[in-house]
Amino acid sequence: MLFKRTQEITVEVAYALPIEQVIIKTRIKEGATIEEAILASGILDRFKEIDLSVNKVGIFSKLSKLYGHVKDGDRIEIYRHLIADPKEIRRQRVTANSPNKKGST
């Protein structure tokens, strides 16, 4: 009787904090989902604040669903919520640095 060998692939699971970026390489079975790869990496044990029902995920900066399949060499990214909207920060900076129209000549 022949047994089909399950191939393994290597993926990276990445999570970044303001002061630290963690990338964990892990080997998983071919055909695994993003969620399976995240669980296999052990990153959820290290960062208790990650909630896969809340945090978005992606592969190489492209949003993906947890049930999406990974390929050998993929980098799975777990995204945090932004503290502030970058567009709003720029808008506030421009407003703060622009000359006051009432006081300008």
Six token digits for residue 77: 């990214």
CB 46 within 8 A of CB 35: no
- pLDDT range class, residue 81, cuts 50, 70, 90: confident
Please report the pLDDT score of residue 104 as a whole number. 47
Give the model confidence (pLDDT) of 40-74 as tens digits: 999 999 999 999 999 999 999 999 999 999 999 99
Domains and CATH numbers, the chain: 8-97 (3.10.20.30)
Six token digits for residue 57: 């995920």
Centre a 10 Å sphere on the Cβ of residue 58 and count the other Cβ atoms it contains. Answer: 17
The pTM score is 0.74
Six token digits for residue 67: 């049930």
Please report the pLDDT score of residue 102 as a whole number. 54
